[in-house]
Structure 1
Amino acid sequence: MNKNNNTVFPGTSWQGKVVITAMKTLVKPVVNRLRFSRRFMKFSQLGFDTVTLALPVHSDVHISPALVGGVPGEWLIAGRGVRSNRVVLYFHGGAYFFGSPRSHRAVTWRMSQHCKAKVLALDYRQPPDWAYPAPIDDAVRAYKALLELGYDPDHIVFAGDSAGGNLTLVTMLRLRDLGLPLPSCAVLISPWADLTCTGESIVSNANHDPLIPMDALRFVSGSYSREHDPASPLISPVYADYTGLPPILVQVGSTEVLLSDAERVAEQAEKAGVPCELQVWENMPHVFHALASWIPEAGRALQEIGAFVHDHLSQRDDDSHVRAHARVVRGRQ
């Protein structure tokens, strides 16, 4: 029986068309000319954080530093409707060489709002200073620490975008193999799930994707996998067996070079009998959720994430509704 549900969402807003045109004409040509190196990777980490801090964060959002299981990050609470027993463990994207909890606040605070949950955004180790399996080790340590702090796995959600979507999947695979309880469900936004870069859309969408250049993907794949086989299931989870994983929601843009990665994740879930909903958003760029202040489709996608999370959290959640305040996350744990 096919437990999966694949849906196409139209991308018709004028705001989306304007943003995509601007990305194609202004951003991608610049990115295509960049020469990737270790020095550039270090510089881009700082530069990306600086640029993305311009994305608005609502004044009602409380942000505080975190140290969970020895892994740094930050807690985010968006408003008074957040339940203190719910946690979204979020893994930021950035192709495993840039990005941070700070750079992804435009996504994470909205995740807190729509999922009515605290968000723990991890600042996991990345190249060029670190490589596989350092991010997975950090993710496992942080999750085990959440369990030790008393959080019920039925009230924990894993989520991530791009490389963070990859990390979401491989962390669940590692936890399963360790015999640890798994989170209630997982959300993957434009997941980069094949570091061999062999998906069909890598070619078919190469000229349609308004953001991602292929040379960059191949370079950072090598910097992350290094001496390991990039086709390893814990590096490229499109080659993994998903048996025993919790329900998964996958969202991706139809013109992304990573469209095939998302489709293959859904196929692997179906083979393993894992409930998986694949949502393809027409003409939307990579991780368009970060542009929710401008693109209506991004806001709707985040609403879909919230609905998915509410559907899959334990019914016991209703009996333990405790409103979260800023004091819940003040300081370091």
Structure 2
Amino acid sequence: MASNRNNADSMHPAISWQGRVVNRVMGRAIKPVISRLRFTRRFMKFSQLGFDALTLALPVPANVHIARTHMGGVPCEWLIAGREVRSNRVVVYFHGGAYFFGSPRSHRAVTWRLSRHCRAKVLALDYRQPPDWCYPAPLEDAVRAYQGLLKQGYRSRDIVFAGDSAGGNLALVTLLRLRELSLPMPACAVLISPWADLTCSGESHWRHVRHDPFIPMKALRFVSASYSEGYNPASPMLSPAFADLTGLPPLMIQVGSTEVLYSDAVRVAEQARKAGVPCQLQVWEDMMHVFHALAAWLPEASLALREIGSFVNEILREEDEAGHLRARTRVVSRRA
């Protein structure tokens, strides 16, 4: 059972000069460039390679263990950081990138820190993406990888889903598909700036368009149309902001206060609580989209990742205690 702390909203004020600098640079230098780009299938392929190369500048400690693997036939990456990692714990990570760029490699600055703070191995999925693939290919990969973990003997109560942006979307819709398939749910899920409304109709999609220092709406609409090709983007399996979340595990959501995806996060939290799902929503003042990737320089990012670790460890500790209690009960029953 999740604690009452997981039902609270909280505002985390901006505390660093680094955050102000990052916002200024992103808003004045990066976003104008992105806004002028002509989004095509060729550009999508090029950006996949370019983004991976760009993120090599984000440091990963030499003692972090990284290994390529397959899980359920899906290419993945194991990542383990620190000696306190527990072998039974797995954070399944769904990388962001608007469903057309990004990879396990591009998100290592986030995943190695999640491994350390959650004291868990991270399994980062290299799921299929546009332009070669569209919905439901990433969802199919996510379900297969999760089933592969279960077949290898990992217990659902020791597994955590986590994802950023489009990866937050994928984490949510994977939970919905597991519910449809009557498969056991993971212990909890962490959603970082989830893109939960592919119709791009949320209030912040227009209210924050000038304040968000990173995401231009033109790009968001293009990739939504590309990913949902042939399907209604308002479908709950594409836009979980419209879904009934009944039966999902506890959720933690983090989002920046000026993001265009701010209302996506808020609506998911509202849908969770309406369905009786414990949900903790954290709003980080003036933080850019997925600011966690800059934890090497941004104090707010380091703090946000520690908050995720606290949430996950609290949930998994309660699951461990409940598991020990059930095991003891079964032993007593056999003796009787």
Give the TM-score normalised by the residue count of structure 1.
Answer: 0.94
CA contact (8 A) 2:14 2:284 kept: yes
* Distance in 1 of aligned mates of 2:87 and 2:260: 37
1:78-106 per-residue CA deviation (whole Å, 9 max, x = no partner) reads: 01110000000000000000000000000
- Output one character per residue of 1:177-220: Cα deviation in whole Å (capped at 9) or x when no partner: 10000000000000000000000001111000000000000000
Query: Runs (4+) of structure 1 moved beyond 3 Å?
Result: 314-320
Q: Check whether the contact 2:158–2:186 (CA below 8 A) recurs between aligned residues.
A: yes
Asked if 1:279 is matched to 2:285, the reply is: no
Bigger Rg over Cα: 2
- Among candidates 68, 71, 95, match of residue 92 of structure 1: 95
Q: Does 1:15 align with 2:18?
A: yes
Matched, 1:246 2:249: yes
Give the alignment's Cα RMSD to 1 decimal: 1.5
Conservation of the 8 A alpha-carbon contact between 1:154 and 1:314:
no
For 2:23 and 2:34, how far apart are their aligned partners in 1?
Answer: 15
Of residues 235, 258, 261 in structure 1, which corresponds to 2:261?
258
Alpha-carbon offset, residue 12 of structure 1: 2.3
Which amino acid is 2:137 matched to?
A
Q: Is 2:63 the counterpart of 1:64? A: no
Q: Letter of the aligned partner of 1:151 in structure 2?
A: Y
8 Å contact 1:165–1:189 — kept in the other structure?
yes
When residues 317 and 213 of structure 1 are mapped into structure 2, their CA distance, relative to the original with a 3 A threshold, is: same
Residues of 2 paired with 1:193 and 1:164: CA distance?
10
d(CA) in 1 for partners of 2:206 and 2:190? 26
Change over 3 Å in CA distance of 1:3–1:292 after alignment to 2: closer
Q: Which residue of 2 aligns with 1:213?
A: 216
Sequence identity (%): 70
1:24 aligns with 2:27: yes
- Partner SS for 1:26: helix
Cα distance in 1, alignment partners of residues 316 and 22 from structure 2: 34
CA separation in 1, counterparts of 2:224 and 2:311?
A: 31
Higher relative contact order (CA 8 A, sep 6+): 1
Inter-partner Cα distance in structure 2 for 1:15 and 1:230: 37
**Deviation (angstroms), 1:4:** 2.7
Distance in 2, matches of 1:87 and 1:212, equals 31
Number of aligned pairs? 320
Which residue number in structure 2 is paired with residue 235 of structure 1? 238
Counterpart mapping for 1:155-304 below 5 A: 155-304=158-307
Which residue identity does 1:227 align to in structure 2?
Answer: G
CA distance in 1, matches of 2:178, 2:321: 27
Q: What's the TM-score, normalizing by structure 2?
A: 0.93
- Structure-1 separation of matches of 2:38 and 2:79: 35
| Equivalent residue for 1:150, pick from 150, 153, 165 | 153
Gaps of 5+ in 1: 321-333
8 Å Cα contact 1:3-1:270 kept in structure 2: no
Q: Deviations over 1:32-63 (max 9, x none)?
A: 11000000000000000000011000122100
Gaps of 5+ in 2: 324-336
Secondary structure of the 1:313 match is: helix
Distance 1:66 1:254 in 2: 37
Match of 2:113 in 1: 110
1:298 Cα deviation (Å)? 0.2
Q: Note if contact 1:155-1:314 (Cα within 8 Å) is conserved in structure 2.
A: no
